[in-house]
Structure 1
């Protein structure tokens, strides 16, 4: 038997002002997007902002449904909208911000498994990393250099015979 340690580099910023101007702008867009989330069931609002290689920023927010599996997370709304509106344009980064009507979200909330898989599909397709910025409504900002950092051993088209 062999064992291998799998890990990644996580940058933790105590304040958003430590980020680059573009990263601050992207995070601000995610925060603005989360305010328009439709979350009457969970009261947990998430906003996402995607930075494209052409400089465009595309936003998304979570959209819940009384039939829970029918809703959609902010990250997928933003990434799918970017893919539909700007097909073939590389996604450089995604910022995600969360808040709750019931308590203060003071730590970053990472994307769910479905969102990680959806984002990594774009990373694999464009053959370049998508960095991620995560923040609650207050508190530190986490930065990962690639979605593959937080989804090791991801499923890919190679398993479908389309290497």
Structure 2
């Protein structure tokens, strides 16, 4: 007899008026750092800001390379740096903002599969979810309360 495995996924949407001070500051940090992205090939700029449990905030942006597979996404860059320097401090929130270089407004972006799996690794390590906040073009924020909302069938033990 066959068996069915299902996950319910959802994102919360918050208007800019509903953002709390901490989330606003984190998203603003992501917006600022995206302007420094090295994206000469795609002209698609991404910034990420990571809040750790101890209150520290780290930022990073995407870094492209003419050999496309060796570029680094903003989310993986910020997680790697923060975890290399603070391996015992839990990541709490990750804010992501993106835009096309020619545009003044935001572009909707969610973490790519590799970044989603990387977020999953740190959720497993610390035994806690990381809130993922993504800026939308209308100024609202899409929020996943943990990576399972963005990657329900992640590379994990499905029996766990």
TM-score for both structures, normalised by structure 2: 0.90
Q: Give a deviation string over 1:46-99, Cα, whole Å, max 9, x none.
A: 000000000000111000000101110000000001101111100001000001
Whole-angstrom CA distance in 2 between matches of 1:110 and 1:133: 9
Establish whether residue 72 from structure 1 lines up as the match of residue 38 from structure 2.
no
Question: Offset of 1:13 from its aligned partner?
Answer: 1.6
Contact 2:53 2:90 in 1 (8 A): yes
5+ long unaligned stretches in structure 2: none
Corresponding residue for residue 118 of structure 1: 118
Does the Cα contact within 8 Å between 2:50 and 2:94 map onto a contact in 1?
Answer: yes
Instruction: Specify the alignment match of 1:10 in structure 2.
Output: 11
Correspondence for 1:29: 29
Structure 1 unaligned spans of 5+: none
C-alpha separation between the residues in 2 aligned to 1:144 and 1:98? 17
Contact 2:99–2:107 (CA under 8 A) maintained in structure 1: no
RMSD, matched Cα: 1.9
Once the 2 structures are TM-superposed, how far is the Cα of residue 101 of structure 1 from its aligned partner? 1.7
Counterpart of 2:51 in 1: which secondary structure?
strand
Aligned length: 158
4+ runs of 1 displaced by more than 2 Å?
1-5, 102-108, 136-140
2:84 corresponds to which residue?
Answer: 84
Deviation at 1:137, TM superposition (A): 5.5
